[in-house]
Amino acid sequence: MKRFKTISTTFIIIIAVIFACNVCYLVNLYESIRSTVERDVKSALADADLDELWIRAERANRETRSKIASGEQEPGSERRGETSVIQDSEGNMISATRYPDGSVATGSISTDKDISFANKFVNTVGKQFHSVMDPYVDINLEIMDSVFTKRLNDRFIRPQFVAVEVIDLQGNVVKRNSRDIADDYDVVTYSFNPDAELAYRAYITPLTRHIFSEMSGVIVTVILLTAVFSLAFIYLYRTVSRLRTIEEMKDDFVSNMTHELKTPIAIAYSANDALLNYDTSNDPSKKETYLLIANKQLKRLGELVENILAMSMERRKTMKLEKEAVQLRPLLEEIAAAQRMRGDKAITIEIKGDDNVSVESDKTHLSNVLNNLIDNAIKYSGDRVRIVMTYDADGLSIADDGIGIPAKSIPYLFNKFYRVPHGNRQDVRGYGIGLYYVKSILDKMGWHINVKSKEGEGSTFTIKFNNDNE
């Protein structure tokens, strides 16, 4: 018992540790994927900014060419400014912007050393390009939404909602679309024009759904593994519990069977010893009594051995039924007559049914089945018992007015080694194989048995013949 509890506790701890490790792994994986996705979103926003700049530049170039062609603008006057960028020895980006009035603005931007020169160059040029472009060509947020969505899709991020607005460095909205933005949307910012202290603020549907879709394979695998471990443990636990129960019932069976076998042997031995050691020639009645006692106990012993052997054969599936046409009335009369001679209590047995009813069955095993049912009815009753056996071509029932069976015990009544607990019936001994043997034989015949019982009123066992299954 202690070993079983130790093993069970160990398994529970192992499953709990595995579950905790899986949870920690999933949390860390979520954080890692989220960090990567957020970085991809910011990168997509930066790329979308450059796309929007190129679209604006092309639009401005087309407008300039149209004005030159129409004479509204002189050739060579379309230049609004120019920007150049170099990298110094420390890795900083040095930019210079020349405006139409001849003024030059320079700046130094320190960037992360882990970022490649190409990315530094693009980011710096983009920000300087904004300084030149924004005063003349306004930002188109609809285009920005579109290109931002495309850049996200290129990275396999497909949000249901995307909206970009322009804010200052204090977070105040400078320009936005007339789109409703929910409070639970994720927010990403990108400073695109440091000189004007402007930045993009993008709203997208929560990234959690995308992250979980990325993790779906891992999550399903972890859940399945945890479920398999849990189910395996439950199955193992139930199996071990069932084996413990069977082991306890077998121990109880051995104890009861030892008593059952020793009792008739002891009684028969005592009767035989009396015949051998005492002169009973002058008292024929006493001699007959001793012989009857010995014979009765030997018969009882034979029945016990027969039940044990029958159960053993059934377990090995080697038992064969010798079927024949059995007339029920004579068989029931024979069984009733033998049971009435028990002498341990007042027994009344009634038989109801037509004389000509017969069934295809193994007569010996059918007799054992009926004897077991009647024997139970007698054992679990008071000083008097009335048994009614009713039969027809469809089935047979055995009803008694005994102490009845608790409702909670009925589902287990035909289990091997199971005995109905009757705390107030210390005089009833058994070994829990009688009804199991009954059910096994009837199953082999293709018949069915059910029981109805009420405590204090008695029980009724009903056998249904089903010759179609023979």
DSSP character string of 36-56: HHHHHHHHHHHHHHHHHHHHH
pLDDT given at position 412: 84
How buried is 321 (Cβ within 10 angstroms: 0-12 exposed, 13-18 middle, 19+ buried)?
middle
In the structure encoding, which two tokens stand for residue 409, read together?
């015990």
Which residue, among 388, 380, 427, has the nearest Cα to 404 in the 3D structure? Answer: 380
CA angle 20/23/29 to nearest 5° reads: 140
Spatial separation of the C-alpha atoms in residues 40 and 38, rounded to whole Å? 5
Q: How far is 178 from 181, CA to CA, in rounded Å?
A: 9
Contacts of 45 (CB under 8 A, 6+ apart): 148, 151, 164, 188, 190, 200, 202
Go through the domains of the chain in sequence order and give each one's CATH number.
2-71+81-206 (no CATH), 320-469 (3.30.565.10)
pLDDT at 459: 93
Strand partners, 310: none
Q: How far apart are CA 185 and CA 290, in angstroms?
A: 99
Tokens of 451: 């029981």
Instruction: Specify whether the CB–CB gap between 448 and 324 falls below 8 A.
Output: no
Q: What pLDDT is stored for residue 181 in this prediction?
A: 81
Burial of 37 (0-12, 13-18, 19+ CB in 10 A): buried
Question: Is the CB of residue 37 less than 8 Å from the CB of residue 207?
Answer: yes
What pLDDT is attached to residue 325? Answer: 92
**pTM of structure:** 0.45
Divide the 470 residues of the chain into consecutive groups of 10 and give the mean pLDDT of each group.
Answer: 70 81 86 88 88 81 72 55 52 54 53 50 69 77 90 88 88 84 85 81 87 84 82 80 72 64 73 72 74 74 68 58 89 84 78 91 87 86 90 93 88 78 51 77 90 91 73
pLDDT of residue 85: 47
